[in-house]
Amino acid sequence: MTLASVVYVFQNAHAAVPGNASEATQVSWDAPHNPNPFIPGYYADASVLQTAKETFVYATEDPWGGRTLGCWRSTDLEHWRWCSLNWPTKEAATSPTSGDSMIWAPSVIAKNGRYYMYVSVGSEVWVGIADWPTGPWKNALGSKPLIPGNYRPGYHMIDAEVFLDTDGQAYLYWGSGLHWVNGHCFVVKLKPDMVTFDGEPRDVTPGHYFEAPFMYKHGGRYFLMYSEGKTTDSTYNVRYAVGSSPLGPFREGVNSPLLVSDPANSILGPGHHAIFARGGKSYIVYHRHSLPFDSSSVRRQLCMDELKFGPDGEPQKIVPTHLGPALLRQTPRDAGALPVTATASSSLDAVHDAKRVTDDNYATRWIPAAAEKEAWLQLDLHRVMQPSRTEIRFEYAWKPYRFKLLASLDGRRWTSVEDHNSTGEVGSPVTITGLPRARYLRLVFPAAETPVSIFEWNAY
Domain match, 212 and 144 both: yes
Lowest mean pLDDT among 19-28, 86-95, 332-341: 19-28
pLDDT tens for 173-185 read 999 998 899 999 9
What residues make up the domain containing 389? Answer: 341-459
In a domain, 3, yes or no: no
The pLDDT of 36-40, averaged and rounded, is 98
The pLDDT of 89-113, averaged and rounded, is 92
In a domain, 18, yes or no: no
* 208-214-215-219 Cα dihedral, nearest 10 degrees: -80
The per-residue b/e assignment along 212-221, b for 16 or more CB within 10 angstroms, e otherwise, is bbbbbebeee
In a domain, 141, yes or no: yes
- The confidence score (pLDDT) of residue 450 equals 67
In a domain, 437, yes or no: yes
Domain match, 141 and 276 both: yes
Nearest C-alpha neighbor of 303 from the set 27, 42, 86: 42
Supply the CATH number for residue 268's domain: 2.115.10.20
pLDDT tens for 114-145 read 999 999 998 999 999 999 999 999 999 999 99
Q: Give me the numbers of helices (H) and strands (E) for the chain, helices first please.
A: 1, 27
Domain match, 281 and 409 both: no
pLDDT confidence band for 24 (50 / 70 / 90): very low
Supply the CATH number for residue 434's domain: 2.60.120.260
- The confidence score (pLDDT) of residue 154 equals 81
Domain match, 321 and 386 both: no
Which class for 330: exposed (0-12), middle (13-18), buried (19 or more C-beta within 10 A)? exposed
The pLDDT of 36-65, averaged and rounded, is 97
Residue 281 contacts residue 114 (beta carbons within 8 Å): no
Query: Is residue 8 over pLDDT 50?
Result: no
pLDDT confidence band for 298 (50 / 70 / 90): confident
Query: Is residue 13 over pLDDT 60?
Result: no
Domain match, 53 and 165 both: yes
**CA distances for 102 relative to 94, 167, 305, 343, angstroms:** 10, 35, 28, 38
Angle 308-312-313 from CA coordinates, rounded to 5°: 50
Q: Which residues pair with 225 in a beta bridge?
A: 214, 240
In a domain, 115, yes or no: yes
Distance CA 338, CA 381 (A): 7
Query: Is residue 17 over pLDDT 50?
Result: no
Distance CA 322, CA 361 (A): 10
Domain match, 415 and 293 both: no
- The confidence score (pLDDT) of residue 178 equals 87
- The confidence score (pLDDT) of residue 3 equals 36
Distance CA 264, CA 23 (A): 10
Distance CA 423, CA 428 (A): 16
Lowest mean pLDDT among 224-233, 239-248, 294-303, 397-406: 294-303
Domain match, 258 and 389 both: no
Angle 60-162-221 from CA coordinates, rounded to 5°: 120
In a domain, 36, yes or no: no
Q: How many domains does the chain have?
A: 2
In a domain, 311, yes or no: yes
Distance CA 213, CA 437 (A): 54
pLDDT confidence band for 25 (50 / 70 / 90): low
pLDDT confidence band for 10 (50 / 70 / 90): very low
pLDDT tens for 353-405 read 999 999 999 999 999 998 888 999 999 999 999 999 999 999 999 999 999 99
Q: What's the distance, CA 117 to chain centroid?
A: 17
Q: Which helix (H) or strand (E) holds 303?
A: strand 300-307
**Higher per-residue confidence, 384 vs 10:** 384
In a domain, 235, yes or no: yes
Among the candidates 295, 328, 361, a domain finishes at 328
pLDDT confidence band for 9 (50 / 70 / 90): very low
Three-state secondary-structure class, residue 341? strand
Residue 369 contacts residue 452 (beta carbons within 8 Å): no
Beta strand extents in 122-236 (DSSP E only): 125-130, 138-139, 161-164, 170-174, 186-190, 202-203, 211-218, 221-228
Show contacts of 138-142: CB within 8 Å, 24+ apart: 138/87, 139/87, 139/92, 139/93, 140/116, 140/194, 140/195, 141/195
Among the candidates 328, 358, 377, a domain finishes at 328
**Higher per-residue confidence, 297 vs 381:** 381
Distance CA 30, CA 9 (A): 14
Query: Is residue 15 over pLDDT 70?
Result: no
Among the candidates 277, 298, 328, a domain finishes at 328
Q: How many CB atoms lie within 10 A of CB 75?
A: 11
pLDDT tens for 220-233 read 999 999 999 999 99
Domain match, 150 and 201 both: yes
**Torsions phi, psi of 160, nearest 5?**
-65, 135
Domain match, 139 and 64 both: yes
